[in-house]
Amino acid sequence: MHHGRTIILAAGLLIGSAAADGEDAMSSASGPSAESPVGIPRSQAFFGLHFDLHPNKQDTCLGRDITEENIDALLRRVKPDFVQYDCKGHPGYTGYPTEVGTSSPGIVKDSLAIWRKVTRHCGVSLFIHYSGVWDSVALEKHPEWAVVHADGKRDKNSTSVFSPYVDKLLIPQLKEVTSKYDLDGVWADGECWAAKLDYCPAALKAWEAETGLKTAPKSRKNPRWLEWKAFHRRAFERYLCHWIDALHAFNPKLQLTSNWMYTTLAPKAVVAKLDFLSGDYSPGLSVDRARVEARYLASTGMPWDLMAWGFDKGDQLGWSFKTPIHLQQEASVVLMEGGGFQIYNTPTRGGHLNETMTETLGQVADFCRARQAVCYKSTTVPQVALLLSTETQLDWSDAVFHYSGTTAPMEGALHALLESQYSVDVLAEHQLQPRLKEFPLVVIPDSYKLADEFKKALLAYVEQGGSLLLLGEKCARLFEPYLGVAFEGQPEEVRAEIASSTGPVNANGAWQRIVVKDAKPVGHRHPDRNVHKDGQVAATIIDHGKGKIAAVYGPVALGFFRSHHPYLRTFVADIVKEIFPAPAVVLEAPTCFDVSLRRTAQGELSVHLLNTTNMPTSSRYGIIDHVAAVGPIDLKLRVPAKPKAVEWVPDGEKLKWSWDAGVLSVRIPGVHVHGVLVVRP
């Protein structure tokens, strides 16, 4: 989100071959030819690069310092499957000479033409970064295209999806640029997350036509507020489908996406005919953010990738490059969930690519390629399903598409489960409901709104033997009749000291007082650290059919998100052990390891281990250059038949292992950043 298998390797070999033969890398014609190497489809692309500049009115030197040799050196070192290069950023000015919109006055050389020439020669697909809904200069020239806020003021940046902007500028300009430069596709930025609630005349007219109402809600106090938001969400999706369909009709070979659509920001079923899903997660707290986004995208069933920022900045400082090992740690989060990975960097305003940046990108690419065969397009072996509730998010968030703080309890639950070394998938209701039977455990963070059909499906899942964990008084209230307790009054903001098995820990917030009837208490809270008196039941477990329901009646997931206190993690983990006593993989290792149980694209069982030691946690410690190897690690994995071989990828290190009665026991000497245990049947 900027304000700012063989086939793949073959493309790299073509680059190397040209150099070995002494061929002039730039001797080919700029137009396509039968001899030109062909880039692989984006749906099969594993590693890519992204460059944007967001051209603006003040630019004076765009393309001045760009050279074919500079680009060629980058592509030969990194060997990416695709490049996304600058075209039009949020200011709305293009970095290429356009006849449709507004070119930046600072164009010295046509950078996009040079990038197309070199990428074509090297067999690398070329996409563009193009800002969609967000176009500031278009609104300077056409203020009538702007979103209008509830106070009647026009937005300076966000175009209205009810306006002619999409037909007058966006579609014609994308047709122009994709045909002029023979592009492979478009990565559209500034889309779902830049759309806004809109009171422009066209929006109000459409609202009246749909509802018969001449006025629109302006706040949550209006009972039709959720309907008003849903109206805009449908409108954005119509806008998106419109331009995607128009570009596909114009050129069926174009590969298109809209940044962050159908991700955690818009966790709904895919409707628009996007060719792949993508998003650029935060430059800071990057490992944490990728942990959520990768697990959700892996559940969509779509080709997907995530984009890391190749730079970050310290407190009150400007941007600086991240180190290779920093980006390798970020990449590992994505690789272990089966996705593609790309890295965002910026050239200078003149277009020059820094040599340190090139080498860093090369080292990260080498790291990823060494793992590609066992990572890319792997699929989950279901263990723990963690709900990202679409119903709750769309009700809570007053943005068109953005989580707006709703994911904090979910992320806290995810972190507690990962640090307890469970393999976790993140799914929304529409993804989880058809797959409930696959997961031994379903965890719901403090989601306050769930559809009746989904609740019935969850109860049926438990009756048939599944385990359900409710983390928080809001979601517990939705299942009150089935918990074997009685709720007394409403939740109260209280001081809460949780008596965990490792020690007392604070979990202040809204707690629901309960009276236990048939359930078994499995946790208590106290008003102070004297955990020997004045205790209230904080958590319970009850049998339901063949399965179990556990509930915690206060904000432990949110508390863990805010503190990551080990005792709070233990409190959650102890409950999980009672209702999910036999996970398929068990580690004896420090909590710094994330585990992901997968099957490779070839169907082989695999266990991914990510060492999160020293991961960035604040702007003052935002960029790292060291991850300490940790080991040895003892791992037990349920494997029905004795394997023929057990391999540690990418090192190929010989491991000590044994198999007995369906359990594989392995000792891994140590893990530096990331490795994969592959079981060869």
Give the type of residue at 238.
Answer: R
What six digits make up the tokens of 384? 């723990």
Confidence of residue 442 (pLDDT cuts 50, 70, 90): very high
Mean pLDDT value across residues 375-397: 98
pLDDT of residue 216: 97
Instruction: Give pLDDT, residue 14.
Output: 30
CA–CA gap between residue 613 and residue 298 (Å, rounded): 24
Query: What is the number of other CB atoms lying within 10 angstroms of the CB of residue 657?
Result: 17
Q: Quick one: which H or E segment has residue 165? A: helix 165-165
Mean pLDDT to the nearest integer, 630-648:
97
Question: Quick one: tokens of 432?
Answer: 């989880």
For the entire predicted model, the pTM comes to 0.94
Taking 80 as the threshold, does the pLDDT of residue 270 lie above it?
Answer: yes
Residue range 201-229: average pLDDT? 97
Q: Examine the pLDDT at 9 and tell me if it is beyond 80.
A: no
pLDDT class for 163, splitting at 50, 70, 90?
very high
pLDDT band at 1 (very low <50, low <70, confident <90, very high): low
What domains appear along the chain, each with residue ranges and CATH number?
7-280 (3.20.20.80), 382-582 (3.40.50.880), 586-680 (2.60.40.1180)
pLDDT at position 19 over 80: no
**Separation of alpha carbons 28 and 255, rounded Å:** 25
Tell me: pLDDT of 36 over 50: no
pLDDT digits over 486-532, tens only?
A: 999 999 999 999 999 999 999 999 999 999 999 999 999 999 999 99
Give the C-alpha separation, 131 to 458, whole Å.
41
- The pLDDT assigned to 3 comes to 44
Q: What is the mean pLDDT of the chain?
A: 94
Q: Is the pLDDT of residue 424 over 90?
A: yes
Confidence at residue 33, expressed as pLDDT on a 0 to 100 scale:
36
Confidence of residue 619 (pLDDT cuts 50, 70, 90): confident
Dihedral sign for Cα 633, 639, 645, 648, please: negative
Using pLDDT thresholds of 50, 70 and 90, give the confidence band for residue 38.
low
CA nearest 74: which of 341, 340, 347, 367? 347
CA dihedral 142, 148, 152, 156 (to 10 degrees): -60
Residues in the chain: 681
- Kindly report the backbone phi and psi dihedral angles of residue 132, in degrees, each rounded to the nearest multiple of 5, phi listed first: -90, -90
**What average pLDDT does range 390-404 have in this prediction?**
96
Q: What radius of gyration do the chain's Cα atoms show? A: 26
Q: What percent of the chain has pLDDT over 70?
A: 94
